[in-house]
Every structure is written in structure tokens, then in C-alpha cells.
Structure 1
């Protein structure tokens, strides 16, 4: 709600109501003209209207009820008529509502982009003159779409940016062999990494104790985590951060938990009977460790569980500060829609339209969109406003008033942005530090004690954490300036 109040957003707020005999979904349409939410319309419908069954199993298909579509159209053309975007807030816990195709239906119905409001804030520094990205793809060996998709997507991203684009491709052996025949061998900006190196790299890193994912006490995790993929990717980047990570792989459910399925060894044929699983936390760790601010999950055309991919992207987007996208390859076979979304977050502010389309949904911090919205945005020159990161004002809500100056100083990354403003790439350790700092700052900002409501011990703890983070930020910025 801090984001919603701060930026005066027009919001579709969705709550899963389990208090009645029959579960229901309560949809509220709100405006915030003065920073205080005002309820304009409310619609409560049973979960069956959204395609959900009476149990707790994930739905194979879901939909947006026509009653809500009509009400939202009325809201956008009436009370929210001056808004350039409609923001979707899914209020946790909301079960499987993250898999509902909200954007697919509401974007064409309202003629407005529909964006999801994340819990995390603020926007962190993401410098570097080149848009660098890692494309990671694992597909069945008979998937004729895979190599052509990578080739088209890389081309679409390059066409969408005025600055240079550098792409690292990490794929299974079948796709690697096809891409070697397709892509120009003289292209220095598209690097194909040999999957035959993955297991060897993982073993070498494990011997040195630097395997990519580590468990409690710094010990390598002994789990079905696809460590060869993670270590292969980290080694292939050679200490260089990427600004975006794009993952394309089939998905499934482990009970009620969505996850991706990949081959244990990228150099071996994909076998659905012998695969390993990637949970959302491991995806987030990989993105953070290679410095990727932007994360996207692609749902393959032959995906056995598109719902799983949607739920993974939704859960990751809610908890990440950086942009997070879901991309439907069946409806975006050339990656054009996702390439335009990348351009929106990577190009100069205000130079690209807000991403929209039935093949895409995304979580974006409202600050990313401020130059593209029609409504008034808070003025940074007003002295009574307190600012986060020097770019976005903090609401005067009770929770925000409890935040300390040290907490604000913990997250700007201004020295990082300044130091690398004219550089093509950012070192991996610098970008990974930024991802860590923005995550910890978000945790502090969302859980900070409120004077008069929170015990003094909790407030003192928050103050100590904020001060420590501020000092850590100072050390990181100083180290960056000396690098």
C-alpha cells in the first residue's frame, strides 16, 4: 500500500475471502487522488466464477469473470479515465489467483496496460551502457521451436534497443547445435556457451568450494538443485554481471508447489523421466547472484503446466525489487512483446511505451513507469517530502514515518550508478551487492516498527538494522569508487 498511496495509483485490488462457507474473490476498484485509497466499486463472486474448483488443487484453466470485465471497463472510462495504467494488487495470501490471465483479458477490454504492484521497493541502480542478458533454455529434444525462438528473440531485443545488446545463451545440447548452425559465427555480441562444459565446471567449482548455491554454514547444498546449470552460467559470465535473466523451461507442480523442470546435465538429452527441479527461491538466488535486475520466465509452447510458470513468475515478481515478467511463447513466438518490455525498463525513461499485450504480464515498481503516466507525480523539490533513493517520495503513512534516515541511505546505489555510468558492463560482485542491498532494504521498509504501535524493543532493533545497512552501503560505495 505504500507504493499505491505514494504514486496515487488506480488499482484493482483482489482478495481471496475464505471467511464464508463458500470461498469467494472480492475485487475492489480504487483510486488514490490524494494518497488515500477511495473505494469506487466492489464485486464479490465465488471462486468458481474464476474457473477454480472446490478443492485446493491448482486449476488447469482460469478466467476473469465477465461481470468484473464490465465493471473494470466502467471504472477505467469513468473514475480512472485520466490514468495511463491500471495496477493489479493481489493481496496475500491469494492462493492460485496469480495464475488468472488478468492482463490477457483486461488490457484489451480497457485499452490500458495492466501492471502488477510488487511488495518490494525501491528501484535499485542498474547501470551499464550495454543491455546484457543471459538466455537459459532447456527444451525437449524434439522441440522444433526452441532454436528459432532464441534466434528471433535475440534479434527482437537488439532491434528494440538503440544501444548495444550482448547476449549469453546457455541451452541444452540439441538447441546449442542448432544455434551454432543458425547464428553468425562472427557475431561478437551473441555468445553460445558449450553445454559440454557444465558438469566439468561444476566439479571444479565444487572442489574449490565456490559452487553457486550454498546451504547453512556455507556448505554446498546436497539437493536436486541443478547445480551444473548454475555453476556453468556463473563461470560463463566470467565475473561480468548481466542486466536481465530469461529462463525458458517446462514446468510442473510438486504437490502444490510450482517449479521448473530441467535436465540434470545440459549436455545430455532431455528426459522427462530423469529431470531435476528448480523452485522459485533458487531462480531468485541465481538472478541475484549474477546481478540481474530484470528477470523473465518464458512458458514454452509445449509446456505441460503453464499455470506453474505463471505462479512462479507471480510469486517472484511480488518479492523482487527489479522488474519481473511472464512471457507466453505460444502467443509471442518471436519474443517481440518481451523484447519491448526489456526496452521499456532498459531504455532512457519515457522513451518507450508501457509494456502491454496478451502474451505478457509483469511486476514493475511504479517508479519505473512515472515518466509514462498521465497523472501528477510528487515533486522532489517540495521540502516537506521525504525521499527514498533520491528519486521517489515516501508516503506520510505511519509506517513510512517510522523509517529512519539510515534506512534511506542504505539503498540508493548512487555511487554505483555514477561510477559505471560510462562503462559498458558492471562487475558481477557489484551488481550482486546491489541486489542484496535492495532486498534487505525492502524487508526493513515493509516491516519497520510504527511509533505508538510497535514495542520500543522492535523500534530499537529496526534502528540498529537500518544503521548497519547504511554503514554497509557506505563501505560498498567507497569500495566501488576505488575499484
Structure 2
């Protein structure tokens, strides 16, 4: 099991993959509170539709099947009383995270959540958060009620929120007519999507980036399907795609610490959007949620409560959500998650407190520093000392430039 979660006091199901010797198999290991006993089981990879031997996944790969024996095995090994089951998904097969484990394990009757790759403690959103909603409906994919999807998202935020909408030029007029002055619907320009979004926000940070639309599944990663550009949507043969590294760069630029992907109905690839969200939380310390629009609106409300609010109770259901968040979003952890007692630097302290850092680039840099803290926490003293120097220099730079430091 990935450290430090083995010492976290959580009930964790680690899921791995091996392709030799013999036919490819999926390996499972269940443990509680990081202590024995540990229950182990494995089964053929084909049982859940995982592509093997160089096979290519279909766009709708990831639909749950063959999960009944897995559920029965977990039930047989459970001691009872688990608040939630945490999935620790390995990268031994790139498509393991694309599978809808949450729905497949729904018969367990408890929330199923995904452990993050980083131990960086969550940074809470300010009292009046800002959300960037990105809605695109490429002509090469099935259309969907974009205005209704935006309305559902705004209602789910559940608190005063500054909402910025970025959408196709052909959808802008309808959005403005319906929402008036309640939302900021930005005027599209002839630039690449991410250049437009980061440029339109300027120096303002966004706490959450919310994608609404179709996914796409590549051989080993997922993507968000878009029109050709904010002002061009004519290609009926193929959409354009935003990949994890591109999206991560934009999230850093606007200071977004969380990502929601809403997979609309008749989606080209829910698995692709799920894998994109999962991979973002691998690249950087971000909380991510994949939300299927076929689920009740309450599920999206659950997602925003987790990402914008203080510690929240465990969700009632996760059958239509793939949620990868730090366990401390539900309150203090039961056991140590490792770490190093870093000095209280002004720059990163602002983000941790939710004190309203409004510069996107600054917020992104602060969160990156917190990620480095977690990564180097168990490292040698000279590595920690080097990071401390970098942090102190950032504070000095902020003061010199009139920033919040």
C-alpha cells in the first residue's frame, strides 16, 4: 500500500495489476488502519473489461461488470463499521483509474472514495469563492442542454459564489439571456481555449475549475473534448482535446485547487473524463470529482460541499461520483499521515487559511510549494533546508512586489 496511507487509520483497498507470469490479473489487498490482517485476492483482468495484450479500450470502457465476486470478497473480509472504503489505484495499468469502481462496488452500502497521490493537506476555499465554468459542445459530439447544466451547477454551489462562464460563441447569447447579471459570461475571442480562459481571468484566481461536456479516452490517458476554438465550432468529424498536462498548467495559472468534470448524458467517453480527473490529482495536489449528469443533482451538491466548504460528512452515496480528495476533507485523520513541521511562511499560510489570495499565479505557486513540502517531508535534511530557502525567498519577493507576503 502506498505510504503514508498505510499509517492513516483508513480502510483501504489497493488495486494493482500484473501481466506475468500467466494471463494478466488484477490484484486486490484490503487493510484496515494500516495493520493486519490484510486480505488479498486476484482475478483475471478481462473480468472487468480491462484491455490486455495490447488491446485498445473502447470509448465507453469502464462500465462496471463482473464486480459481484469482488463485492462478496470484500464483505467476507470486513469487520464492519467502516465509514468509507478508500481506493488506492496503482499506475501499473494506465486504465485502472478509468474504471467506474464506485458504481461497481455500490452493493457495499458505504461511500467509495479515491486516495490522492499527494499528502498535502487541503486548502479551504475563501468565504466567497470563485468558480470557472467551462462548457463546450463540439459539433462532432452529441448535443446537450448546456444552459440547464450551468443552472444545475450554480444551484449546487450552495453559497455566494462568483461564477465565470466560458463557452462556445454560439451558446453565449442564450447564456446571457437566461442568467443576466447573475453570472459573468465571457465574450469568446479567437484564441486557443486555455489561453482565452487564463487571459480573461487575468490576475484573478479561481478556486474550482468545472468542466461540462464530453470525455475522450486515449490509449493511456483521458481528455476533455472541445470545439476547435471559442469562436469556431464547425468540424462534425472530430472534436479537439485537452490533455492532463495542458489542463494542469492552466489550473496552476489561475490558482485552481480543485477540478470537477461533469460528464453529460450520451457522453462519448465517461471513462476518458474520469481518467482525466484522476490523472490531474496525480500530477498535482488537487481535489477532483467526476460527476455523471445522469445522477441526481444532489450528487453535484455533494461535490461542491466537499470542495468549497469546511470538513464535510461522508457523502450518502458515491455511485455516480468518482471522488479523489484528501481524507482530511472529512475531518482530522485518525492516524499520522507523515510530514515535517515546516515553519509558518506567510505566502503558503494565506492559501491554507483561505484568506482570499486573489492572484491566480500566486495561488498556484503557493499550492505547488505545499506539494513540495509533502514530497520532501520524508527526505534528507539538506533537501528540506533547500526548500525552506526557496519558500523564504518567495516571501521576500512578494513583499518586494507589494504582494500579500
Q: State whether TM-score is above 0.5.
A: yes
For residue 326 of structure 2, the aligned residue among 365, 371, 375 is: 365
- 267 and 481 in structure 1: CA distance in 2 versus 1, 3 angstrom threshold: closer
1:23 matched to which residue of 2? 24
Deviations 1:86-107 (A, max 9, x none): 100012323311111111132x
Give me the whole-angstrom Cα distance separating, in 1, the residues matched to 2:292 and 2:346. Answer: 33
Give me the whole-angstrom Cα distance separating, in 1, the residues matched to 2:301 and 2:281. Answer: 18
Report the alpha carbon displacement of residue 174 of structure 1 after superposing the two structures with TM: 2.6
The secondary structure found in structure 1 opposite 2:88 is: strand
Q: TM-score, normalised by structure 2?
A: 0.87
Question: Which is higher, the Rg of structure 1 or of structure 2?
Answer: 1
Give me the whole-angstrom Cα distance separating, in 2, the residues matched to 1:156 and 1:437. Answer: 31
1:328 matched to which residue of 2? 292
Report the alpha carbon displacement of residue 21 of structure 1 after superposing the two structures with TM: 1.6
Deviations 1:284-327 (A, max 9, x none): 11112111111112222232222221221222223332211111
Aligned-residue RMSD, C-alpha = 2.8
2:376 matched to which residue of 1? 444
Q: Is contact 2:209-2:251 (8 Å) kept?
A: yes
1:145 matched to which residue of 2? 145
Q: Is contact 1:125-1:414 (8 Å) kept?
A: no
Q: Is contact 1:120-1:442 (8 Å) kept?
A: yes
Aligned length: 397
2:129 matched to which residue of 1? 131
Q: Does 1:43 align with 2:41?
A: yes
Q: Is contact 1:125-1:413 (8 Å) kept?
A: no
2:213 matched to which residue of 1? 249
- 362 and 327 in structure 1: CA distance in 2 versus 1, 3 angstrom threshold: same
Pairs within 5 Å for 1:302-317: 302-317=266-281
Report the alpha carbon displacement of residue 270 of structure 1 after superposing the two structures with TM: 4.6
Give me the whole-angstrom Cα distance separating, in 2, the residues matched to 1:355 and 1:165. Answer: 24
2:387 matched to which residue of 1? 466
The secondary structure found in structure 2 opposite 1:153 is: helix
The secondary structure found in structure 2 opposite 1:437 is: helix
The secondary structure found in structure 1 opposite 2:319 is: coil
Report the alpha carbon displacement of residue 117 of structure 1 after superposing the two structures with TM: 0.7
- 275 and 124 in structure 1: CA distance in 2 versus 1, 3 angstrom threshold: same
Q: TM-score, normalised by structure 1?
A: 0.74
Q: Does 1:341 align with 2:303?
A: yes
Q: Which runs of 5+ in 2 are unaligned?
A: none
Give me the whole-angstrom Cα distance separating, in 2, the residues matched to 1:316 and 1:94. Answer: 17
- 11 and 193 in structure 1: CA distance in 2 versus 1, 3 angstrom threshold: same
Q: Does 1:61 align with 2:61?
A: yes
The secondary structure found in structure 2 opposite 1:175 is: helix
2:83 matched to which residue of 1? 84
